[in-house]
Amino acid sequence: MPERLIELDEFLALRAKLPLIDARSEKEFQQSTIPESINIPILNDEERKIVGTLYKEEGNEAAVLKGFELVGPRFHEIQKIALQKFPGKKVLIYCWRGGMRSQILSWLLGMVGFEIFRLKGGYKTYRTRTFELVRKEYPLVILAGRTGTGKTRLLKSLEQEGEQVIDLEDLANHKGSSFGGIGQPSQPSVEQFENLLAESLIKLNKNNRIWVENESRRIGKAILPDTFYNQMLEAPLVSILKTRKERIDLIKEEYGSLDRDALIQAVLRLQKKLGGLRTKQIIELIKADEKEKWIEMTLDYYDKAYDFDLKNHKTHYTFELDLSSKSEEDSINELIYVREKFERTLAG
């Protein structure tokens, strides 16, 4: 069955209905990909290296011949894998630039009855789009607050109430502190983090405010694009307050049952900032399972760090909102009211 070569916009529209196949090598796929793609490499990492070297030394024809020599014995395996994974026989495929690898995969699958939609320009075209999207201007509003104020939970509740939300920590698989990677899946590469951020932004109305949690430029190993981060620093900011007990209780709920060795390693990463004595004391409290006490001591450091970080925020539009002892419903209503107040002021 003949393939259809399609532009990016049609490709992105079709992916809601059809599975995606990334024909690049394993390392390329692991580094970054179009979300929800399944990797069926035409050339594996070592083979791609061989073909690439040959292309540089002897040219395109020699590289193509070598590529077919390497992948030819696996043609039937690739077809079997595709038939097993995609019984509907209708798929979207791409490689790096929409060249030889996706063409070969398209030919192979077409031979066993697949209907193929191949991305013109390949992953490079998609990556160009996501690179540009995360560097555009967006109307943000920042949700800030000291550690343990439940910002992430509030963001999820805001989203359920129809507010526009980008959960950066969810995209980064990291909660943004030395403890933030414990129990989380592995983090995406910087490039893939930008792809995921772009995917979230695509879904939103650019004319309405977008809630984003206050973050450093680095969230674990993920790095926010400069343009986006600078917008965060200049956006209206709501700083929420909770009692110290409420904060300790929430942190205990989220971190108290985590692996003690992992908690100790997180504390050791803060040793230069905590000081040797305090580090030792916190570790002993973790070993003794004194949750409230080690959380209390650690909070002193994070509160100072938050206060310092807040000074870097450049906006003139800030609002301090005390949500102590407030229900979730009341908290959300107050946050929406403040957001609307910002809108009126800025429109004003």
Catalytic (active-site) positions: 95
How far is Cα 247 from Cα 252, in angstroms, rounded to an integer? 9
**Residue (of 186, 179, 183, 181) closest to 148 by Cα position:** 179
Tokens of 74: 């696996």
Q: Look up tokens 């002021």; give the residue.
A: 345
Within a 10 A sphere around the Cβ of 307, how many other Cβ atoms? 10
Query: What are the start-end ranges of the H helices in the chain?
Result: 8-14, 26-31, 45-58, 60-71, 75-85, 100-110, 122-133, 151-160, 168-172, 190-202, 226-234, 244-255, 260-269, 271-274, 276-287, 291-310, 328-347
CA dihedral 108, 113, 115, 121 (to 10 degrees): 10
Residue pair 169/215 in contact (Cβ under 8 Å)? The answer is: yes
Tokens of 89: 């026989």
Q: Look up tokens 């620093």; give the residue.
A: 233
Residue pair 105/67 in contact (Cβ under 8 Å)? The answer is: no
Residues β-bridged to residue 37:
20
Within a 10 A sphere around the Cβ of 299, how many other Cβ atoms? 18
Residues β-bridged to residue 210:
140, 164
Residues in CB range of 292: below 8 A, 6 or more apart? 248, 252
| DSSP secondary structure letter of residue 186 | P
